[in-house]
Amino acid sequence: MAKEIGHEIIHISDPPQNMPFDMAKLQEADVAIDYSGPDSAVENIYRCFDAKTAVVIGSTGWYDMLPAVSEKCVQHNGTFFYSPNYSIGVNILFKINEILARFMSSFGQYAAEVHEVHHLKKLDKPSGTAIRLANDIINNSEIYKNWVCLPEGEQISTQITDMPVYYLREPDVVGIHEVKYFSDIDELSIRHKANSRKGFVLGTLIATEWIIDKRGIYTMSDLLNF
């Protein structure tokens, strides 16, 4: 898709496919895109800082290192853009979720849950998108203080201030995320289902074009002006 809209790809690094990393090529690039995975994302970000190359991160599962990465970005006057999900629809879901959480915080009779379903090769559990949804509920709620990760269908006693985040892995599922509020009398939910990976690719390329002439740390909220 990058080539289709006029971009040139000067290097691809994929060690499992015997495509090694090339620092010289990285230094030539305007922007690097990383979807390598949680075990290598931070190292790749640091390589981009050293190369003075902006980087767009699609990998999740490394956010515990975000403070350190942000500090190093400032030290190197670097540029990186990160998001747990680059789908425009999912980022609209994020915004709706924040607003809904503020409303629902006033109604203690409703309990909240987050559910996510992904393909079998998805490494992190729960997904970065589900974690973002859960954290945004907690940050906008007077009820919940923590979230607890559980396999779909498993029931574990939690504190009233703990919110369950359920995950499920099935074949050929691109990604489904749902936030549910339920009481004894009714249920309210917001849901996003990705029908293909093109939405992630499109959002990534929009971020890539947007960040070229910038310095600093950015997210989809900055791009979409939310």
pLDDT digits over 184-196, tens only? 999 999 999 999 9
Contacts of residue 88, Cβ cutoff 8 Å, sequence gap at least 6 = 199, 202, 203, 206, 224
pLDDT confidence of residue 164? 95
Q: What's the rounded Cα separation, in Å, for the pair 166 and 150?
A: 5
- Residue ranges, comma separated, of all CATH 3.30.360.10 domains in the chain are 88-194
pLDDT confidence of residue 207? 97
Q: Which of 11, 95, 122, 125 is catalytic?
A: 122
pLDDT confidence of residue 111? 94
pLDDT confidence of residue 157? 67
What parts of the chain have a pLDDT lower than 70? Answer: 156-158
**8 Å CB contact between 167 and 127:** yes
- Residue ranges, comma separated, of all CATH 3.40.50.720 domains in the chain are 15-82+198-224
**Residue 7 catalytic?**
no
Cα 192 to chain centroid, rounded: 14
**Residue 118 catalytic?**
yes
pLDDT confidence of residue 158? 67
CATH class, domain 15-82+198-224, is: alpha beta
Q: Which of 115, 118, 177, 192 is catalytic?
A: 118
What global pTM score does this model have?
0.84
pLDDT confidence of residue 159? 75
- Give CATH for domain 88-194: 3.30.360.10
**8 Å CB contact between 171 and 146:** no
